[in-house]
């Protein structure tokens, strides 16, 4: 028993260590490590449950740490793509650390609530899944129509145009022979386009000591929406954190930039952790990391689930401190250097990563996506409509 406990703790620490690397380095995804581990698993002298703990702690730590490059560098993955624009805005106001802190708070608060709710929700998950699934596509269509119709005047038309254009982009990109289609597409739509528009800006001195607090009512609404919409992504294949952000906004309405960042942070974490509930209750894997867990251990018992959740709590608690430490160091560093040179360096860095990871075809996607990403700010509509690149394929999947 003592030997098994030691092995599990080593798995937690190693998973967190690799999660820090994948979280801080743009383009290095949890799924890459998970696939490699599945390949090596038969030759490793380690219990399957310990390998599952390693993957879960890796993925959970990643959901916290990836806020740092998303906000500071404009290099998002799917979970944090919606945080790029408001987070970048706060960065240009000297509040980059606070932006990361808000997403981290949202991640941890939603994690705690989700860990409490998972054991309670398991008995109803199969029937809930069967009831919601037939209506998911129509629900997404209704949410998007509601958002577009809420715009004023000609902005309705431009919002629809950008949504459909980005949707066509997404449908095209997913048909291309790319192993990582999301990286060049999202980096262009939300990363490079933001950097190009803000290149003339200057990052003011950052103030990590500044306090930004959400009111209790907004905090409750944000966490509630984050847990609900994040849980949907853990149940339904094809529905990711970015789509859940749109659902969350529809649920809570105007929560301001601070509440929105907390919402986005929470959704990414709930999305990952609730996939464990789907694996246990439905015997279905809803993301790449959980697919790897399923391939290594098969199904999981209730005791296995409790062990995975306990290790998740430990990893999440440490990841909060690690994320805030990295964000504080990054904020102080960014405030002392020339932002024009930084933005150009980041653009070059992302371009090289796209070329290395996805070859010339990914670079073409990156360039086209950047051009599409520049349209929304020029037409003065919300850039969230560019999420059509992910929403349209998901709608068609469910419909």
Q: Give the model confidence (pLDDT) of 340-356 as tens digits.
A: 777 778 788 888 888 88
Please tell me the distance from the alpha carbon of residue 233 to that of residue 82, in angstroms, as a whole number: 15
161, 168 Cβ separation under 8 angstroms: no
Tell whether the model's pLDDT for residue 107 goes beyond 90: yes
pLDDT value for 210: 83
Task: Give tens-digit pLDDT for 148-174.
Answer: 887 878 888 998 999 999 999 989 998
**Confidence check: pLDDT of 315 > 90:** yes
Kindly tell me if the per-residue pLDDT of 182 is higher than 90.
no
Mean per-residue pLDDT for 119-140? 82
> Over 70: is that where the pLDDT of 80 sits?
no
Higher pLDDT, 42 or 355: 355
Q: Which of 49-63, 76-90, 113-127 has the lowest mean pLDDT?
A: 76-90
Question: Which pLDDT score is estimated for 60?
Answer: 92
Residue 331's region, left for phi above 0, alpha for psi from -120 to 50, else beta, is alpha
pLDDT at residue 109 greater than cutoff 90:
yes
* Per-residue pLDDT tens over the stretch 247-261: 787 777 777 888 888
Tell me what pLDDT residue 33 has: 76
Query: pLDDT-based confidence at 11, cuts 50/70/90?
Result: very high
Burial, 123: exposed, middle or buried (Cβ in 10 Å; 0-12, 13-18, 19+)?
exposed
Residue 218: pLDDT band with limits 50, 70, 90: confident
**Residue-level pLDDT at 172:** 93
Residues of the chain with pLDDT > 70, as a percent, come to: 89
91, two tokens: 């960065």
Q: Is the pLDDT of residue 74 over 70?
A: no
How much is the pTM?
A: 0.78
With a cut of 70, say whether residue 378 has pLDDT above it: yes
Going by pLDDT thresholds of 50, 70 and 90, the confidence category of residue 26 is low
In 276-335, which ranges are E strands?
A: none
Inform me whether the pLDDT recorded for 303 exceeds 70.
Answer: yes
CA distance 158 to 104: 33
Indicate the burial class of 302 (C-beta count within 10 angstroms; 0-12, 13-18, 19 or more). Answer: exposed
Q: Give 160-171 as a DSSP string.
A: HHHHHHHHHHHH
Residue % of the chain over a pLDDT of 90: 23
**Angle in degrees, CA 379, 380, 385, rounded to 5:** 85
Average pLDDT, the chain: 83
> What pLDDT score does 112 carry?
95
């Amino acid at each position: 028993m003592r030997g098994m406990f030691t092995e599990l703790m080593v798995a937690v620490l190693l998973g967190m260590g690799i999660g820090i690397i994948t979280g801080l380095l743009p383009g290095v995804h949890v799924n890459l490590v998970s696939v490699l581990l599945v390949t090596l698993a038969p030759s490793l002298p380690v219990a399957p449950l310990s390998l599952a703990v390693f993957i879960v702690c890796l993925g959970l730590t990643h959901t916290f740490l990836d806020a740092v490059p998303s906000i500071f560098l404009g290099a998002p993955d799917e979970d944090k793509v919606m945080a790029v624009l408001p987070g970048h805005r706060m960065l240009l106001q000297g509040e980059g650390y606070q932006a990361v802190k808000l997403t981290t708070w949202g991640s941890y608060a939603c994690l705690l609530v989700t860990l409490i709710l998972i054991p309670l929700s398991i008995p109803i998950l199969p029937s809930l899944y069967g009831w919601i699934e037939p209506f998911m596509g129509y629900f997404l269509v209704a949410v998007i129509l509601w958002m577009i119709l809420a715009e004023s005047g000609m902005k309705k038309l431009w919002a629809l145009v950008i949504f459909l254009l980005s949707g066509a982009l997404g449908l095209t990109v997913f048909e291309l022979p790319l192993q990582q289609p999301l990286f060049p597409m999202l980096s262009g739509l939300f990363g490079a386009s933001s950097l190009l528009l803000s290149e003339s800006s200057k990052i003011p001195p950052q103030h990590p000591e500044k306090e930004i607090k959400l009111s209790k009512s907004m905090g409750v609404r944000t966490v509630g929406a984050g847990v609900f919409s994040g849980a949907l992504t853990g149940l339904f294949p094809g529905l990711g954190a970015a789509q859940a952000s749109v659902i969350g906004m529809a649920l809570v309405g105007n929560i301001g930039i601070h509440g929105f960042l907390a919402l986005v942070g929470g959704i990414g974490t709930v999305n990952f952790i609730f996939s464990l509930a789907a694996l246990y209750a439905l015997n279905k894997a809803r993301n790449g990391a959980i697919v790897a867990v399923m391939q290594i251990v098969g199904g999981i018992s209730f005791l296995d689930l409790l062990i995975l959740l306990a290790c998740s709590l430990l990893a999440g608690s440490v990841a909060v401190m690690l994320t805030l430490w990295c964000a504080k160091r990054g904020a102080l560093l960014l405030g002392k250097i020339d932002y024009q040179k930084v933005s150009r360096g980041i653009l070059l860095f992302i371009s090289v990563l796209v070329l290395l990871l996805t070859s010339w075809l990914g670079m073409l996607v990156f360039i086209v996506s950047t051009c599409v990403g520049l349209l929304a700010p020029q037409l003065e509509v919300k850039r969230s409509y560019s999420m059509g690149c992910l929403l349209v394929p998901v709608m068609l999947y469910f419909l």
